[in-house]
Structure 1
Amino acid sequence: MPAKKSIRIMLLDDHPVILHGLETCLIGDSGIHIVGSYNTTQALLTALSQQPIDLVLLDFSLGPDEVDGLNLIRGLKIRFPTVRLLVISALHNSSTVAMAMRCGADGFIGKEVDSAQLPIAIRRVASGKTYLTDGMIEQFYENEMSTEDHNASPLTDDTNTAALLANNSSLTTREYEVLRCCLDGMSVSQIAQKFSRSSKTISTQKQSAFRKLGLRSDNELYKVRDQLEAR
């Protein structure tokens, strides 16, 4: 009987310690072959263009100079439509997960889960199915959310502003990404550099998001985050 083909994967995380941990968790699994581990988006894109793989395991939030989050997920799906995407993140909630799935992710797993779940998630996503933890699925039912329709209006942005952003679907994807970066402590100029847009454009998107959410300052945005994290 022929040997079962290994799942070829690449890893993306901007923290070397996390990458090492992921490698250690998967290295002993004969059914999973780590083709490469990368800590920058550009390095991953270069590698993807040079060799075929089955799945990318990628961190949702990377450094301020990196393309990440929803933009990265959407970009990878456009450039490499056959590659399956499993997103991993230390911070997540139902609205963030739903938005990631809508943008093209095939699965989402939290960094807090038992390491034994990681190979299971990889196998499920690589087989063409979606993977979410039971807790995530329960939250979707409770909030009447959907992970379908990648082109639908976004539900949320940052993991820390879950309830408020989840209830405001009028925010655009770019407005969500700008708020997420603001909550990461990035300035308007840093966000502009990250997304290759002008500072004026970023400022306009930020103010538009603030108006839609009824916020008047960064202070109010951070207060919302604190309240939601305390739930």
Structure 2
Amino acid sequence: MSIRKMIRVMLLDDHLFMLQGLELSLKTQADIEIAGSFSSSQALLEALQRQSVDLVLLDYSLGPDEIDGLNLVRGLKKRFPGMRLLVLSALHNPATVAMVMRSGADGFIGKEVDPSQLPIAIRRVVSGKTYLAETMSEQFREQEISSGDPSTAATNDDTDSLAILATNAALTGREHEVMRCLLDGMSVTQIANKFSRSIKTISTQKQAAYKKLGLNNDNELNKVRYLLEGQ
């Protein structure tokens, strides 16, 4: 009988209740060892400098004073290229999932899935494969079929639509950040707190981005969402 290699995992979620639930779910798995559970990205990074793990299971949407999910995934992949990343989130429209995967994630799982799917996802990702929940895969297939053009599907290998849009509109890096946060449903005040900038600065960057994108008001933000999600 073959013996499975122990999979060392670290967890990151800023909601204590969710973090405890993940721990309880994974502790029942004989081949999965929880090497650490953290509620902040800084604590996670400090732990990763002391010890290596096979996989990090991380929440995509952390608190307002945290780095945003895409940059966290990029940073972890750059600093720890041999480590696998499985992203957990309640927000998983095709555009969000596609951007996260292109940023370096190896899998994406929704918070509403059956807990029994989590160890399956972890084992698949650690084995070198990618993982998407079945409902997400179906969304991608439906989007590709409805578009009639595989090059516009959320699962293609091109740069994400928001990045293309930002480049064409000559958005600055900070204007791009503000637009991405607005698309995630954050207010100007929340964005200001997240990036430690003044509300006036964020408002100015928002208005500058709107002007470049040809948007007149918040209601027209759906124009950008349309391009982002390829609908």
- TM-score normalised by the shorter chain: which range applies? 0.7 to 0.9
1:187 is matched with which residue?
A: 188
Structure 1 residues 129 and 192: CA distance shift in structure 2, 3 A: same
Structure 1 residues 73 and 25: CA distance shift in structure 2, 3 A: same
Secondary structure of 1:18 counterpart = helix
How high is the TM-score relative to the length of structure 1?
A: 0.78
2:165 is matched with which residue?
A: 170
Question: 2: CA distance between counterparts of 1:11 and 1:212?
Answer: 39
* Root-mean-square deviation over aligned CA pairs: 3.0
Identical columns (%): 62
- Give the conservation status (yes or no) of the 8 Å contact 1:102–1:148: no
Question: 2: CA distance between counterparts of 1:39 and 1:49?
Answer: 17
> Which range moved further: 120-129 or 207-216?
207-216
Deviations 1:137-191 (A, max 9, x none): 2322323325465xx53234xxxxxxxxxxx841367655423433543436x53
Q: How far is 1:7 from its partner?
A: 0.7
Q: Which has the higher Rg, Structure 1 or Structure 2?
A: 2
Secondary structure of 2:25 counterpart = helix
How high is the TM-score relative to the length of structure 2?
A: 0.78
Deviations 1:49-92 (A, max 9, x none): 11010101111111100012111111111111111110011111
Question: Structure 2: which 5+ residue stretches go unaligned?
Answer: 145-149, 168-172, 226-230
1:165 is matched with which residue?
A: none
Question: 1: CA distance between counterparts of 2:30 and 2:81?
Answer: 26
Question: Structure 1: which 5+ residue stretches go unaligned?
Answer: 157-167, 226-230
1:217 is matched with which residue?
A: 217
Amino acid at match of 1:64: P
1:155 is matched with which residue?
A: 161
2:75 is matched with which residue?
A: 75
1:55 is matched with which residue?
A: 55
2:147 is matched with which residue?
A: none
Secondary structure of 2:112 counterpart = coil
Question: 1: CA distance between counterparts of 2:42 and 2:3?
Answer: 34
Q: How far is 1:6 from its partner?
A: 1.0
